[in-house]
Amino acid sequence: MPRVSIIIPTKNEEKMLPKLLDSVKAQTLSDVEIIVADAHSSDATRSIAESYGARVVEGGMPGPGRNKGAIHARGEIIAFLDADVQLPSSKFLEECVSEMDRKGLDIATCKVRPLSRKPIDRALHEAYNAFVIATEKIRPHAPGFCILVRRHVHHDIKGFDEDIVFAEDHEYVQRAQKQGNRFGILRSHPIAVSVRRLEKDGRLILALKYIFSELHMVTKGPFKKGLPFDYDMGGDEPKDTEPSSSQK
């Protein structure tokens, strides 16, 4: 039985996925399985995942995709990652798991740092870190691109709520805490995340979306019937590329 099951929901991630999988393969903690829950990619995502020894299963949007991947997980700890993150140190998994054990945590996340040298990106990510640390004990937040959870806890809380269409990750950890599970933000390492969504949506627009979403969750609950703004999953659709045989 592996110590950690890494679950990655994907859709057209041929550009980003290899960098993540390279960083996973470099880990000092080798007792790991990789499960890619793919949402019908039309690029080389599936073949790339398989070339790294990952098990590819049918996925969907982020919440449902993570749940479908977790069905196949055998590890004591599940690490939910997104394809556009990178593990910044070869000891990332080893030391994060050790910190979870040492602190008696059932579910956890990390601080974040951008894969960008722009001061604005660093400032935005540090502002996020300050916010989640300030609310760690009273209203936990965890980005779906980096959640570590004990497998039995994921099953006990019945996974991600698949009716929620945005911020399902924050609802997931808040629900876990309310059911008596211990949440914490790990200090061992930050997770390195791309800024492609900031560049795609615009930094101010995306910040406003997150603020609006947080206010909506506090006052009215999570979004379950659609969003007042656009949200796309995954990478870009490949141009002039026919679907693979598995998608025809």
The pLDDT tens digits for 194-209 are 999 899 888 888 778 8
* CA distance to 11, 39, 65, 143, per residue, from 82 (Å): 10, 13, 11, 10
pLDDT of amino acid 241? 38
Which helix H or strand E contains 35, and what residues bound it? strand 32-38
- How far apart, in whole angstroms, are the C-alpha atoms of residue 125 and residue 199? 14
Q: Which residues contact 211 (CB under 8 A, 6 or more apart)?
A: none
Percent of the chain with pLDDT over 70: 91
- The full set of domain ranges for the chain reads 4-238
* The length of the chain, given as a count of residues: 248
Residues 91-101, mean pLDDT to the nearest whole number:
98
Q: Are the C-beta atoms of 150 and 199 separated by less than 8 Å?
A: no
7-18 pLDDT tens trace: 999 999 999 999
pLDDT the model gives residue 244: 35
Architecture of the domain defined by 4-238: Alpha-Beta Complex (3.90)
The residue ranking higher by pLDDT, 247 or 211, is 211
Query: How do residues 139-197 score in pLDDT, each as one tens digit?
Result: 999 999 999 999 999 999 999 999 998 789 999 999 999 999 999 999 999 999 999 98
pLDDT of 34:
98
pLDDT in tens, 24-78: 999 999 899 999 999 999 999 999 999 999 999 999 999 999 999 999 999 999 9
Tell me the pLDDT band of 243, cut-offs 50, 70 and 90. very low
How far apart are the C-alpha atoms of 7 and 209, rounded to whole Å?
Answer: 26
Instruction: Determine the pLDDT at residue 236.
Output: 62
**pLDDT range class, residue 247, cuts 50, 70, 90:** very low
User: What pLDDT is attached to residue 200?
Assistant: 85
Q: Check: pTM over 0.85? Answer yes or no.
A: yes
- What pLDDT is recorded for position 231? 65
Which stretches within the chain are classed as H helix?
17-25, 45-51, 62-71, 92-103, 119-134, 151-156, 168-178, 196-201, 203-219
